[in-house]
Amino acid sequence: MDWRLLLASALVATIALAHSVQGERRLRAPDGLPPGTPRGLRLGWHLASALLLAGAGIVSILAAAPQAPAAPRLAGLLGTTAATILMAIAALHGWWALAGTRGLRAVIPERDDGTPLFRPGRIGTAAVALALAGASGLVAQQALGLPGPFPAALLLPGGLLLALALIARAVGERQYLGLFKTRRQSLFALLDTGLYTPLCLFLGLATAAVCLL
């Protein structure tokens, strides 16, 4: 039994439960939801908690399995999960770049008067999609040890830079994004607190673990 992995599993499970409890309080508050909030917000919020709980369960299984070193198996699992999520987000951006506009309001920060902070163009959105797809490939190549497009010498520094960028996105800039934002009343801010920021934090920590384990 690896007590370090077991402790990590308990910590992640506690965070997941706290995430759901605090989210439910916010969602039930009479003035807590901005106009235009999608009906699926509660499902998405608790889905993030469910993913965290699933991760905690997998880590606890790894902690109890003595047949192989835990670190390489955990790095492979985290890397595969992070790469899959990054590729899914890349595909979503690709769809927005080609033809889609549905759901864009929920992913763009808004000023106090409700106007979007910026209006992404198709080229910029496509560039983000390509960058996310490249990040997915980098993490997968590092985690699984398979041949890929990235030189071996770039895997570690590239992975660490990606991890820092994702964690920095989770921390935010104290106004519209991240853990310490002050504007919390818009639809984006609500989703950022419940989904985007926890997801970026998970991806950043998972990528760092893939590089360091």
**10/1 Cα distance (integer angstroms):** 14
Cβ neighbours, 10 Å, residue 127: 14
- Taking CA 147 as the corner, what is the angle to CA 145 and CA 148, rounded to the nearest 5 degrees? 110
Query: What is the three-class DSSP state of 179?
Result: coil
Q: pLDDT exceeding 70 applies to what percent of the chain?
A: 80
Please give the single-letter amino acid code of residue 64. Answer: A
pLDDT higher than 60, residue 67: no
Give residue 165's pLDDT: 94
Q: pLDDT exceeding 90 applies to what percent of the chain?
A: 13
Give the Å distances, CA to CA, from 46 to 5, 53, 213: 24, 10, 29
pLDDT digits (tens, 9 = 90+) for 70-93: 556 677 788 888 888 888 888 888
Q: Name, in order, each residue with C-beta under 8 angstroms of 205's C-beta and a sequence gap of 6 or more.
A: 163, 167
